[in-house]
Structures are given as C-alpha cells and as structure tokens.
C-alpha cells in the first residue's frame, strides 16, 4: 500500500496520463491491523497541505498559497489526498505543510516521494509528462536465467566512488552506463552487481548511503540531470543496461534504521507527528544505535518496509536484496515481526509473480561470534549471510605479517574452520564470502599496499576456492589501496583509482590473478560445492602443545610453522586439491592428490583458466613432491570417471 502513496501523475479511466498529479499521505491508526500500531500515538494533525512550485514559481516555504489535502479514515488509518490543478509538462518540487492541533506549523517532506530534491531543503518532487510524447521506461529482465546463489560472483559497487575519476559533469548513474566500464566488468567475469545504497539521504554531503530517510526515492546526487524524467528513470535505465549485459542487480537495503534529520530534511514520518517520538514507525526494537531505529513491534513498520522492498523488486526489476545490519530486527524464533516475517512475505510475493528463481536474499548479521550468523541465516530462511570471519581472519593475518615475531606463522590453526565456509548451512543456503568490503580498509592496504600487496594473493585464491557467493569490492580486482580508520569519522569518499589498473605492476598482476581465479571458479563446479576436507579440524589438542599444527595422516590440513594449508574440494565430476602458501618462503613437499591418473595444475594467471602443467599420479605415490611458491597457491584438478 505504501508504494502507491506520494505524488504521482494521474491517469484517466482508460489508463491515459492526464495533466494533474495526486498527493496521497497515510497515517496508521491504533490497533493490530496490517497497517496499524500498538506503540505510539496519533500525529495530532489539524490540517495537512501541500506547497510547491506547481502553485507559484519561485515558491517559498512561507507562501500562503496552499493545496489543502482532504481527510478520509477507515479501520487501518487516515488518508489525506488532493489533486493539483492542470499543469504543464515538467518537473515540480513540493513540501508538506502540517498544522498541528496546538497551532504549531511544520514544513516536512513526503515520506513516500519518488524524488529527493537535493537542495538544503530536500524537497520532494514529481513529473508531469506530456501524454502525446511520453515513452515510458519499462523493466527489462535479465538477459538469460539468474545463476544459482552458489555460483554468484558479486561486485560491490559504490556509484559515487566508482565513477568519480572519469564522470566529469555526468551524474554517477549515467556515467555507469559508459560501455568501456561495463566491458571491463564483463572481462573481469563477475555476474552480479551489488549497488551500495541508492535510497536518498538528507542534505548534499557525501555518504555511503547507510543513513537513508526517503525509502522510495533515489539519492539526488546519483541522478541529477537536465532532463526532468531522468530524475525518476535514471536508475531503471542503468538496471536495464546491466541486465542486457548479463549482470544480476542486487540492492543494498538499509531497513534497520532511518536518519531522523531535522524537520524539512529528515525522515518525514518522524516529523509529521507533533511529538516526533510518538511516531509509530520509529523506536527501540532490538537495538542498533545507528541513527533512529525502526520499531518492528508495530505492524505498520513491517508493512512499510515490505512495501519498499516490493516497490524496488517490481518497478525496477532487481534480482536480490542485501539486508544491511540485521542485528536490529532479526529475532530468531519470531516469525510475525521483523526480518523473518519480511523474508517470508518477500518470498511469497516473488512466487506469486513468478520471479523467485535465483533471487538473492542475503543478510549482514554480525553477532559477537560471527559463526552464529549461520544459525540465524538458517532460521530466518535467508539465502545467504555475510561470512564476516573471512574478512577479519584475513585482515589479522595480513596485519600479523607486519610483526617480525609472527611473520613465520602467518595463519592460525583455526584457518581450517574458516575455509570450510559451507559448514552448517542448510541445503540451498550459502555464505557470502569476502576479504574486502565497503566497511573496512582494502585488502591491499591491510598488507601495506605497494610494499607487500602480494601477500594478499593466497587469500584471494582461498576466497575463490571455497564455497559461497563470492563478493569483491570495487577496485579490489586490481589492488586499489584504500585505507579506512576503524574508529571515528569513517565515511569518506574513496574514488576508484582506475589509472593504477594498468600503470602499476601491482594493478596488472592483481587483475590477472582475479580474472584467472574467476574463470577457474566458473569452469569448475567442485569449487562451488559445499564439500570440504578436512572438516572438523581439531584446532585444539591438549595432548600435544595446544593446537594441531601439522598435516593429518592424509596429508591435508595445516603446517603451522611453514604457513602451508592444503584442503580438498569435490563433487561428482571432479576432485580438487588446493595448496596455499601464506609465508614469504617457497615450500616444497608432499601434496596429497588422492586419485591415480592425470591431474592438471591450473595456471591461475592463464588466459582460459584451464590449461596448465599435467601431473601423472600412480598408486605408489599419491603425494608427489610439489613446489608451492611464497605468497601463492596452486589448484590441482582431476576429472572423475
């Protein structure tokens, strides 16, 4: 229902556009209905009106020319509506003017507007199209079927940073459609683009987008252009182009909280209540501490967020949603509120519209014990959860190599549990794995950038040879060295340094590595299976000296003193042994291949990701002596009869 609110151009009884817009603003009532609340109070409104440049231009928030909205009530709440007079085609901005019962007047945005004006006032907006010339932009589905979740290779993309170095005066969304950049992403081999939050935030300052306040509107700085229609259609044009190029598009959805801001430039529902804390959409639920939490105890809040999700799914054709910071609204065991209910309702909606195949639902759930996120993922029936231990363990290992006392022990025995990424996931659910994301310093930075970037290589090989949907952050593919402090003001612009891609050895070598790894992963389904050995690695053994630090009897596991890790992946058609060297010294020793016959040592940087040296294994020597170079790894594969 909320997706039908806001200001939209009207249509006649034949479905043809006419030269008027209709405003619709809804307030829930007390009760336990779908759009009602149990905690909160009425807004205390005496009169609700609209002011804007559809009345007079230039317009002022103090103008006396008002369009009063008519009030109607039902069992769910109160709806305020009215139509504009006939208007010429063009783009119009407006605000709501609310007069409360105590005489107080406040100027506020529209909570369901499709446009954020982008000035200091964050005006709402709508477009009147000329019916004679209007050509609607429609959703274009993905060019081909969606890939299964375990086959996803996701490119996390921040629109502002990705385009900053080359876009000039173009808005970021338009700059993304430049063929050269899309071709580079195709050549990299990723099959999904996860766009960091595009929903509008208050003001004109740079933001990562995790402080939204208008949930049906695209951030103005991403779409501001001379063509009025572009303000509303630009994101859809980008998604359509990505679909034509074969990329699935994942929305980064921030639904735990909102930026309350200040009156005209804050979450409108909050300021449409005489006493803002009485607003039933916000309030403490499970906690979060980020801006103003949504109160999912109230059903109106649950339906508001559900309608937001359905709007972007239906009107923009997205292929998945990443739910940001779910600690604030994921309550395991409760299915009538919060994230569990949302996921269930979204799946019903997708099935009803024949749109469920391959739709990505991922959660960023960050309990103190990061492995507990797996249980949460299973219980709320999410398709995936962020596997945050991969980032922190790789970061800690790269940091430890700066310590001279630990350079010879770059990984801990727990690494075998870390690499068994598919462990404990129910069938059909997988981790989303990464060694870098938007929230922290780049992997190259953790390894001291240009000095020791090559130390990230075995971690990249591990990433692409373990189960899960793999995620890489923009610029990671060529070692873009970006530092972020873990404390204080962390939200900074980090323009992707495209010139480093071909102009530095680090950029060229890292890009070749990632392209090769992606091709290998896509060519070998055993790397995408959940099978892993050694599973249940005994990280602690009191009978010895604390930890199991040497290979097991089969030759797999960890050689702690040398920084060597060897593990086995397989499915019904192929067997794979992965050998990684996290140390700064070459290692030569027995590598267990396990099956007699011909094995191929895949050359990671080879163009097709297939050819490489061949190794013949006989029954008398199932563990040939092989060399694993420093800060590198090898992927050995054998087809099974």
**Omega before residue 394 within 30° of 0, cis:** no
Q: Give tens-digit pLDDT for 128-159.
A: 998 888 888 999 999 999 999 999 999 999 99
First and final C-alpha spacing in the chain: 56
Q: How confident is the model at residue 65 (pLDDT cuts 50, 70, 90)?
A: confident
248-261 per-residue burial string, b: 16 or more CB within 10 A, e: under 16:
bbbbbbbbbbbbbb
Cβ count within 10 A of residue 206? 13
* Strands 360-363 and 320-323, sheet pairing: parallel
Assess whether pLDDT exceeds 80 at residue 544: no
**Minimal CA–CA distance to 370: which of 340, 320, 322, 327?**
327
d(CA 306, CA 26): 16
Q: Give tens-digit pLDDT for 402-424.
A: 555 555 678 888 899 999 999 99
DSSP state of 412: -
Q: Give tens-digit pLDDT for 291-329.
A: 899 999 999 999 999 999 999 999 999 999 999 999 999
DSSP state of 276: G
Q: How confident is the model at residue 545 (pLDDT cuts 50, 70, 90)?
A: low
Q: Which helix (H) or strand (E) holds 243?
A: helix 230-244
Cβ count within 10 A of residue 78? 17
Predicted confidence at residue 133, as pLDDT, reads 85
Predicted confidence at residue 549, as pLDDT, reads 81
Predicted confidence at residue 213, as pLDDT, reads 94
Q: How confident is the model at residue 607 (pLDDT cuts 50, 70, 90)?
A: very low
Rg (CA), the chain: 27
**Given 3-state DSSP classes, what are the helix, strand and coil percentages for the chain, each rounded to the nearest 5?**
25, 25, 50
Assess whether pLDDT exceeds 50 at residue 340: yes
Cα-based distances in Å from 224 to 105, 119, 172, 404, 448 = 30, 11, 9, 51, 38
d(CA 254, CA 265): 18
For the chain, give the percent of residues with pLDDT over 90. 70
Q: How confident is the model at residue 351 (pLDDT cuts 50, 70, 90)?
A: very high
Q: How confident is the model at residue 503 (pLDDT cuts 50, 70, 90)?
A: confident
Task: Could you list the beta-strand ranges (E) of 197-247.
Answer: 199-200, 214-218
Q: How confident is the model at residue 226 (pLDDT cuts 50, 70, 90)?
A: low
How is residue 245 written in tokens?
């190029």
d(CA 307, CA 3): 6
Q: How confident is the model at residue 536 (pLDDT cuts 50, 70, 90)?
A: confident
Predicted confidence at residue 232, as pLDDT, reads 82
- For the chain, domains (ranges, CATH) are 2-128 (2.60.40.10), 557-639 (2.60.40.1180)
Q: How confident is the model at residue 441 (pLDDT cuts 50, 70, 90)?
A: confident
Average pLDDT, the chain: 90
For the chain, give the percent of residues with pLDDT over 70. 95
Q: Helices (H), strands (E): how many in the chain? A: 15, 29
Calculate helix-pair angle for 505-523, 457-464, nearest 10 degrees.
Answer: 20
Q: Give tens-digit pLDDT for 368-385.
A: 999 999 999 999 999 999
The residue whose two tokens read 């027995």 is: 590
Predicted confidence at residue 382, as pLDDT, reads 96
Contact 526, 535 (CB under 8 A): no
Q: Give tens-digit pLDDT for 20-47.
A: 999 999 999 999 888 988 999 999 999 9
Contact 474, 442 (CB under 8 A): no
Q: How confident is the model at residue 608 (pLDDT cuts 50, 70, 90)?
A: very low
Predicted confidence at residue 116, as pLDDT, reads 84
Cα torsion for 103, 108, 112, 114, to the nearest 10°?
150
Predicted confidence at residue 76, as pLDDT, reads 92
More confident residue, 240 or 65: 240
Assess whether pLDDT exceeds 90 at residue 260: no
Predicted confidence at residue 542, as pLDDT, reads 42
How is residue 192 written in tokens?
């999904």
pTM of the complete model? 0.94
Strand partners, 564: 559, 581
Strand partners, 637: 576, 600
């Amino acid at each position: 229902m909320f997706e039908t609110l806001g200001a939209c151009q009207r249509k006649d009884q034949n479905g043809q556009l006419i030269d008027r817009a209709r405003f619709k603003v809804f307030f829930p009532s007390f009760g336990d209905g779908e759009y009602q609340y149990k905690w909160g109070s009425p807004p205390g409104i005496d009169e609700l009106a609209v002011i804007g440049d559809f009345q007079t231009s230039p317009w002022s928030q103090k103008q006396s020319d008002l369009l009063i909205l008519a009030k109607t009530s039902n069992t769910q709440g109160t709806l305020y509506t009215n139509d504009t007079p006939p208007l010429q085609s063009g783009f119009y901005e407006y605000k709501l003017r609310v007069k409360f019962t105590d005489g107080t007047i406040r100027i506020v945005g529209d909570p369901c507007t499709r446009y954020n004006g982008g000035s200091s006032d964050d005006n709402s907006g709508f477009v009147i199209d000329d019916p004679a010339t209007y050509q609607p932009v429609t959703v274009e589905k993905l060019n081909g079927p969606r890939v299964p979740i375990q086959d996803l290779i996701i490119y996390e993309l921040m629109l502002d940073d990705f385009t900053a170095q080359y876009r000039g005066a173009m808005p970021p969304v338009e700059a993304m459609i430049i063929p050269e950049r899309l071709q580079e992403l195709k050549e990299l081999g990723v099959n999904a683009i996860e766009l960091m939050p595009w929903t509008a935030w208050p003001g004109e300052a740079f933001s990562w987008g995790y402080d939204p306040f208008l949930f049906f509107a695209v951030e103005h700085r991403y779409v501001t252009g001379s063509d009025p229609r572009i303000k509303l259609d630009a994101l859809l044009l980008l998604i359509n182009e990505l679909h034509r190029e074969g990329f699935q598009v994942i929305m980064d959805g921030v639904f735990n909280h909102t930026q309350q801001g200040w009156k005209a430039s804050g979450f409108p529902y909050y300021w449409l209540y005489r006493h803002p804390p009485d607003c039933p959409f916000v309030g403490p639920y499970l906690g979060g501490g980020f801006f103003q939490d949504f109160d999912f105890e109230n059903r109106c809040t649950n339906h508001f967020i559900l309608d937001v999700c359905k709007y972007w799914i239906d009107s923009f054709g997205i292929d998945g949603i990443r739910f940001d910071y779910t600690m604030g609204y994921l309550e395991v065991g409760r299915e009538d509120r919060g994230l569990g209910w949302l996921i269930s309702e979204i799946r019903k909606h997708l099935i009803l519209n024949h749109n469920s195949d391959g739709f990505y639902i991922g959660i960023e759930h960050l309990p103190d014990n990061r492995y507990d996120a797996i249980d949460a993922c299973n219980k709320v029936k999410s398709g995936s959860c962020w596997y945050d231990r991969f980032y922190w363990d790789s970061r800690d290992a790269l940091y430890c190599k700066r310590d001279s006392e630990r350079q010879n022990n770059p990984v801990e025995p727990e690494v075998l549990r870390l690499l068994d990424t598919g462990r404990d996931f129910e069938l059909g659910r997988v981790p989303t794995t990464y060694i870098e994301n938007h929230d922290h310093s780049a992997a190259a930075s953790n390894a001291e950038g240009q000095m020791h970037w090559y130390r990230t290589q075995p971690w990249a090989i591990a990433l692409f040879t373990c189960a899960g949907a793999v995620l890489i952050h923009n610029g990671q593919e060529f070692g873009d060295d970006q530092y972020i402090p873990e404390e204080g003001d962390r939200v900074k612009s980090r323009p992707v340094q495209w010139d480093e891609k071909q102009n530095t050895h680090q950029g060229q070598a890292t890009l070749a590595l990632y392209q090769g790894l992606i091709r290998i992963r896509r060519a070998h389904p055993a790397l995408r299976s959940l099978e892993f050995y050694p599973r249940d690695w005994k990280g602690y053994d009191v009978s010895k000296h604390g930890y199991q630090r040497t290979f097991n009897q089969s030759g797999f596991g960890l050689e702690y003193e040398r920084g060597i890790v060897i593990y086995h992946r397989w499915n019904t058609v192929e067997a794979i042994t992965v050998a990684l060297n996290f140390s700064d010294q070459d290692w030569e020793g027995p590598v267990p291949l396990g099956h007699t016959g011909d094995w191929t040592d895949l050359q990671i940087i080879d163009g097709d990701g297939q050819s490489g040296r061949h190794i013949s294994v006989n029954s008398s020597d199932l563990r040939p002596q092989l060399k694993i170079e420093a800060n590198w790894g090898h992927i050995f594969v054998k087809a099974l009869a």
